[in-house]
Structure 1
Amino acid sequence: MTDDEFQAAAGQLDALVQEFETLPFPEIREMVFDLLQAVDAIHRESLGRLVGFLRQQGQADLVDRAAEEPVIRLLLLLYDLVPDAELARGEPANFIPLHEIGEAISTSAIIPASMGPVRRARALPFKEAARVEEVPLGAMKAVEVDGVRVLLFNVAGELYAVLSECPGSMAPLHLGNFSSPVLTCPWHNEAYDVRSGERVDGWETPKLNMIPVAVVDGTIQVAVQAPSKAAPSPVS
């Protein structure tokens, strides 16, 4: 695929998403976005494991060199697999403004500006979870956002969020022990690094369900798929 063809495909995707957003049929619209999210989840996990495998095999330099190619870097940015300057400024991790992508990887000639935030198709709004001061250095806080149990962590001043579910099961994690940056499951005694979601012993098992997090005006905001609407509240 040429750069022009990539640009055309990106433009078509944007046009289709905008068209679905205006459909007068809420149920169909939700089904479409659920489909996009399912595809996104599969791609995210598969690509994440591939990049993780290459890094574990001592090929981190290969990943970094590949990321110098604009289209590859865009894909890695979309799935949070390379550093993004936006995160350092507290922008929502679930969105990548195109003008920043253009500055970072010089893709202004490839990605049409009309696309807006690249991940808009996921349609996951950020919701307030807690105040920044409620999660001090080295602490874990359990909250409920729109009916979803979420764990917030402060690791060396950086904030992280995961679903309060043990990977591969529905067992809640909020009763687990947190010794920054490691969370230990109270049910299976498995230890996870909350910065990456991976097991600290290196075993190839399902990872923690990482959640996009942002800090806005002193509040910690997360993007979750809500089964129901409920105000954020502490989990006892």
Structure 2
Amino acid sequence: MTPPERDVLDEVHELIGALESHADPRVREQVAALLERVDTVHRTALTHLMSAIHAMGGDAFVNRLTADPAVRLLLMSYDLVAVDRRIQAEEALDAVRGHLHARGIDVEITELVGGVVYVRIHGLETNGVAESAVRQDLEEALKAGLLGFQEVVPADRPGAGPGLVQLGRSRPAHRPVYREVLALHDLPPGRMRPVDVDGTSVLVANVAGELYAVGNRCGDSPLPLEFGELNTAELRCSWHGCRYDVRTGARVDGGTERLAVYPVAVRDGAIQVAVGVEAVGAG
């Protein structure tokens, strides 16, 4: 069995620590001088670069850049964005939360230790969803969005981790908040429509009578997908030619980008979409 990939930040710190504790004092001095100069050159350039990017594109564009795990890791190394791997893990899971919420499942991260993410899964018993299927969704999202990810461990399972620290303010279970977006008869099979849901641009598609909702932009770009072509469940972007499966949000042409997927419901002849959640029992 192949051992899990080590956390890159931990490995870098160990390598630097080994050089800084070298038996030869001259090596230690040279390593310290080298690291200081590399840090100065990179920090100065990156600080100026981020200032220019922010001035030209604002917070929204900076947020799109830092959504990339490699970019975030680099900027975190120079204190240009906050080092919070818990937030990284939460953001990675956002890619599948809509899909899980649609099945009545919510996931709570209880602890993150190195590359191991401990989770509490809500709704398995009442909705008849297999834990293995949920774990597969979580692992795929974390592999894509959390650098150094190793495995998902259900926190409630016996032996899930001795001495696991429970957070004093863990996230409660959530449920999707649905908004009515259009009439069902306005979206026949094979068609798609852009809608605005609480300020989020969403594309609703009817695939052979089944409704799906995805984020209305291609990858990390601001370019809308509403002008693309829908062929069964495959959506082709009119700008780049990228192809997505609207049922899962995944690229089907070899790309790594994934569209946000939102839960959809039909009530009283109206299509409803949820882009936000609320704590169970709220309101």
Give the TM-score taking structure 1 as reference length. 0.49
Greater share of strand residues, 1 or 2? 2
Q: Considering only CA atoms, is the larger Rg found in Structure 1 or Structure 2?
A: 2
TM-score (norm 2): 0.42
